[in-house]
C-alpha cells in the first residue's frame, strides 16, 4: 500500500515510547534531529499516542520531572486502551507465538493492537516489537547525528503499518480453532 499523503492524513501514526525519549534526549543533536523528523512526519500523519505510552514514559519519574513529562505527554492526542484493544493484543500473543516471535512485551502488543484496530501506523526505533509478517515497513528513517564524542551515530527509526489482510485472516482462523 502506498497511500497518498491525503489518505495518510486521515490515519493515526502512533509514536512509540522510545521515539519520545529519543526526541527528549539530553544529547542535543540527537534530540534536534528526531524533533525535526517528527515535525516533517506530522505533515503527513495525525500524531497520537496510546494511553500505554503515557504509562511507559512516566514510569519511574518523580516530582518535577514527572510533572514536566506529563505536560509533554498531554499535548499528544491519546487513544484509550479499550477492551477491544486488549482483545486484539491478547490474540497477538498467540499469533506471535505461532511465528516463534517471543520477547515482545504486553505494552508493545497493546500499541500494535491499537494500530491494527485503527489501521494506523507506528513510528518506532524498536523494530523487533512490530514484527514481520504482521507489520510491514512503510518507511525507514535513518537519522545520523554527531555525538558528544564527535563521532557519527545513526538512530534508525521506521514507520510500520499492519498487514491488514494477513492479520484479519490469521485472527479469523485463530478464532475458529477448536
Where does this chain bind another protein (CB under 8 A)?
1, 3, 6-7, 9-12, 16-18, 20-21, 23-26, 28, 31, 35, 38-39, 42, 46-48, 51, 56-57, 59-61, 65, 68-69, 71-72, 74-80, 82, 84-85, 87-88, 91, 114, 116-120, 126, 164-165, 167-168, 171-172, 175
Taking the CA atoms of residue 85, residue 91, residue 92 and residue 95 in that order, the dihedral angle to the nearest 10 degrees is -160
- Residue 44 CB, shortest distance to another protein, in Å, is 11
- Residue 35 CB, shortest distance to another protein, in Å, is 5
* Cβ proximity to another protein, 101 vs 117, nearer residue: 117
- Residue 85 CB, shortest distance to another protein, in Å, is 6
* Cβ proximity to another protein, 2 vs 152, nearer residue: 2
* Cβ proximity to another protein, 31 vs 131, nearer residue: 31
Cα Rg, the chain, nearest whole Å: 17
Coil, strand or helix at 44: coil
Give the other-Cβ count within 10 Å of 73's Cβ.
18
Which residues in 27-63 are b (16+ Cβ under 10 Å) and which e?
eeebbebbeebbeebeebbbebbbebbbebbeeeeee
User: Is the N-terminal amide bond of 133 cis, ω within 30° of 0?
Assistant: yes
- Which residue reads 518523580 in cell numbers? 62
- Residue 168 CB, shortest distance to another protein, in Å, is 5
- Which residue reads 523528523 in cell numbers? 37
* Cβ proximity to another protein, 42 vs 139, nearer residue: 42
* Cβ proximity to another protein, 9 vs 147, nearer residue: 9
- Residue 152 CB, shortest distance to another protein, in Å, is 20
Amino acid at each position: 500500500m502506498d497511500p497518498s499523503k491525503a489518505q495518510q492524513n486521515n490515519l493515526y501514526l502512533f509514536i512509540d515510547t522510545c521515539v519520545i525519549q529519543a526526541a527528549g534526549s539530553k544529547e542535543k543533536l540527537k534530540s534536534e534531529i528526531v524533533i525535526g523528523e517528527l515535525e516533517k512526519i506530522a505533515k503527513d500523519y495525525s500524531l497520537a499516542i496510546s494511553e500505554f505510552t503515557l504509562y511507559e514514559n512516566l514510569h519511574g519519574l518523580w516530582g518535577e520531572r514527572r510533572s514536566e513529562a506529563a505536560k509533554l505527554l498531554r499535548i499528544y492526542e491519546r487513544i484509550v486502551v479499550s477492551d477491544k484493544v486488549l482483545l486484539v493484543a491478547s490474540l497477538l500473543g498467540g499469533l506471535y507465538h505461532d511465528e516463534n516471535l517471543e520477547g515482545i512485551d504486553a505494552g508493545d502488543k497493546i500499541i500494535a493492537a491499537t494500530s491494527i484496530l485503527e489501521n494506523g501506523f507506528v513510528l518506532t526505533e524498536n523494530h523487533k516489537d512490530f514484527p514481520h509478517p504482521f507489520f510491514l515497513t512503510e518507511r525507514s528513517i535513518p537519522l545520523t547525528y554527531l555525538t558528544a564524542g564527535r563521532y557519527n551515530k545513526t538512530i534508525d527509526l521506521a514507520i510500520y503499518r499492519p498487514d491488514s489482510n494477513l492479520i484479519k485472516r490469521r485472527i479469523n482462523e485463530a478464532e475458529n480453532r477448536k
